Structure formats: C-alpha cells, structure tokens
Amino acid sequence: MVVFAMLTFVLAVLTVTMLAILAVFFMVLVVVLAVVFTMAALVVVVFSVGDNRQGKAKNSRQEKGLFHVYNFLVYQ
C-alpha cells in the first residue's frame, strides 16, 4: 500500500512538472511571436515610409498614416 502511495505521489509530481514546463514553453513562444510580429510591422512601416519619401507610393492615406506612425516611433 505504501509503494502504491509513493508511486501515485511521484506520478503526480511528474505530471505537475510537465505541465509547468509546457506552460513556460507556451509563454516563451507567445513572447517570441509578439517580438517577431512587432519587428515585421516596423519593417513594413519603415519600407512604406521610404517608398513614400521617394514618391513611389500612390496611396495618400497610406502615406499619411504610416509616415506619422514612423515619425512618432522614431522621434518620441
């Protein structure tokens, strides 16, 4: 009976440990994806502003919006 209790306890501890490891893994994954998304958005903004400054972009709404976002991020 004591052996069964010990095995049950060990199994419970291993289960909780695995769940904690998975939780940490998913939290790190979310942070990495957030950083990748943010960097991709900044690259899009910077390239759009570069095109707008050279007069290549045709969409005036895009020019105004992304140019002001870029200026806010760089100069604030």
Q: What is the pLDDT of residue 75?
A: 72
**From CA 48, how far away is CA 72, in angstroms rounded?**
15
**Rounded distance, CA 50 to CA 57, Å?**
9
Give 32's pLDDT tier (boundaries 50, 70, 90).
very high
Closest by Cα among 32, 44, 33 to 70: 44
Given this model, what pLDDT does residue 76 score? 60
Helices (H), the chain: 2-53, 60-75
Higher-confidence residue of 18 and 41: namely 18
For residues 14-20, give the mean pLDDT.
98
Domain ranges across the chain: 2-75
pTM for this one?
A: 0.54
First to last CA, the chain: 68
